Structure 1
């Protein structure tokens, strides 16, 4: 897979999420959400879920977990996704260099 495949998959997943996102939660998650709701007193409990997604995303970026999974599946990193090009494309190593066997002047 590639950077283009990642972009297509993100766009597809983004389209699957409506403005209203139905979420089923288990008993433990419901209990934790209730505790956070009482302690933090948000205007809307949905705000806690939004914060949780932001925190999970940031922690996976900070720990390198996101890059690990992206590299495993798409052969790119989050920074490469943000820039729209791979590291090899940025450094100019993306295109194979022509190798003439007779041209050994610059090889060490």
Structure 2
């Protein structure tokens, strides 16, 4: 897979999510969310969920876990995704430059 495949998949997932998301909660998650609501007193529960997604995303980036999964699935890193080009493209490694034809007939002459 490639950077273009990742971009297509992100756009597809973004569209599929829509504006609202309904999530079923297990007992442990419900209890943790209730404790966070009581302690942090947000305006609404959605605010806590948004903050949780941001924190999970940041932690995944900071630990290199996101890069690991992106490299495994798409052969790119998060930095490459953000820049829109691979490291090879950034450094010109993917380009082939014409090589000078060297005919060295004298190489093995004594």
Q: Please, what TM-score do these two structures have when normalized by structure 2?
A: 0.88
The 1-side partners of 2:15 and 2:37 are apart by 29
Stretches of structure 1 lacking an aligned partner (at least 5 in a row): none
Distance apart, 1:44 and its partner CA: 0.4
The 1-side partners of 2:102 and 2:25 are apart by 67
Number of equivalences = 104
The 1-side partners of 2:15 and 2:35 are apart by 32
Report SS of the residue matched to 2:50: helix
The 2-side partners of 1:100 and 1:45 are apart by 66
- Aligned in 2, Cα 1:18/1:103: closer, same or farther, shift over 3 Å? farther
The superposition leaves residues 41-63 of structure 1 with CA deviations (integer Å, 9 ceiling, x where unpaired) of 00001111100000000000001
Rg comparison, structure with higher value: 2
Question: Which residue in the other structure is 2:108 paired with?
Answer: none
Stretches of structure 2 lacking an aligned partner (at least 5 in a row): 105-110
Question: Which residue in the other structure is 2:5 paired with?
Answer: 5
Distance apart, 1:20 and its partner CA: 1.2
Q: Equivalent residues in 2 for 1:54-93 (5 A)?
A: 54-93=54-93
Question: Which residue in the other structure is 1:27 paired with?
Answer: 27
Q: Please, what TM-score do these two structures have when normalized by structure 1?
A: 0.89
Superposed CA RMSD in Å reads: 1.7
